[in-house]
Amino acid sequence: MAMTGVLRPGHLQLRVLDLEECRKFYRDVVGLVDMGTDAQGRVYFKAWDERDHNSLILRQADTAGVDFVGFKVLDAAALNELEAKVRAFGLATERIPAGEMSETGERVRFQLPTGHLFELYAEKKKVGNGLGLVNPPPWGKDAERGIAPTRFDHCLLYGPNIAANKKLFTEVLGFFMVERILGPKEAGEPEIGIFLTCGHKTHDIAFVEHPEPGKLQHVSFRLLNWDRVQRAADILGMNRVSVDLSPTRHGVTRGETIYAWDPSGNRFETFSGGYEPYPDYEVITWTFDEFGYGLDYPTGKLHDSFLGVVT
């Protein structure tokens, strides 16, 4: 696909209740690379195969959850153009100066209709994946510590008025919808879940209708294949991590998955598989009565914790 506009998920900042405990957890169990601490006390991580300086930021707080999600855009001209479009859509924007977040350039921040803070940026320091750009090996020392995901893949966010989010992302930010979940027939089958991409993945961000604004359902980290998902399950068990959904396959996106909790109660996913959609593909629809198979295809069960517990 052409390099234009919004490129990919870039970063997500999580609130955690015990910063040092979660630092150790994301470094040693999840297997992210610790990129240091800034003057505000925030801790930065990247996945081993990511080229930019950071993708997950942890902040000490009294409540768990998500502060903001950021996506990288092509360049400064794209950033300016998209900011103008967001304002024309009717949303106020704020410019966060370069350097406010470690090794990251100026960011354009705005609040989504679902209550989440979302931001776009064009510049982040390139640090590479440690393998080099000439005759590189397939993996390095950081690829075997803990679960060792290759990248921050996507997030699922809960909040009200996902219809307005859909309009913003598809008509302004250049995303397209890949899959959707419909509500009950007696309610007129409204869209209660939408899965959006700006590239060739089944989703880069997803939203589910929820009465409370600004909620996090999960942050997802990409693994190479189903074998690595099974290995992740072993690592979670060996470290006595609380698991929400054991290794299974989604019907939605065809993803292979485990859901578990970090020490502060934020849900995270280890994810592989899926398929490669293109903008001309027709949207896949899941009806409410069959959504159990969308979540957990082998059993067809709707798990209460997955639907109801958010931070």
Q: Which of 50, 191, 256, 269 is catalytic?
A: 269
Our answer to whether residue 218 is catalytic in this structure is yes
Our answer to whether residue 297 is catalytic in this structure is no
Q: Which of 83, 154, 191, 210 is catalytic?
A: 154
Q: Which of 11, 116, 210, 218 is catalytic?
A: 218
Q: How far apart are CA 218 and CA 155, in angstroms?
A: 6
Among 43, 24, 48, 272, smallest CA distance to 148 is for 48
Our answer to whether residue 303 is catalytic in this structure is no
Our answer to whether residue 210 is catalytic in this structure is no
Q: Which of 11, 53, 116, 203 is catalytic?
A: 203
Our answer to whether residue 203 is catalytic in this structure is yes
Which CA distances in Å does 130 have to 35, 109, 123, 138, 147?
A: 13, 31, 20, 11, 18
Residues 203-238 as b or e (16 or more Cβ within 10 Å = b): bbbbbbbbeebbbbbbbbbbbeeeebbebbbebbee
Report DSSP letters for 13-33, one per residue. EEEES-HHHHHHIIIIIS-PE
Which CA distances in Å does 238 have to 144, 220, 226, 241, 264?
A: 15, 21, 19, 8, 19
Among 221, 218, 206, smallest CA distance to 284 is for 206
Q: How far apart are CA 306 and CA 250, in angstroms?
A: 13
Q: Which of 26, 44, 158, 259 is catalytic?
A: 259
Our answer to whether residue 53 is catalytic in this structure is no
Among 177, 162, 151, 167, smallest CA distance to 72 is for 151
Q: Which of 50, 116, 250, 256 is catalytic?
A: 250
Catalytically active residues are 154, 203, 218, 250, 259, 269
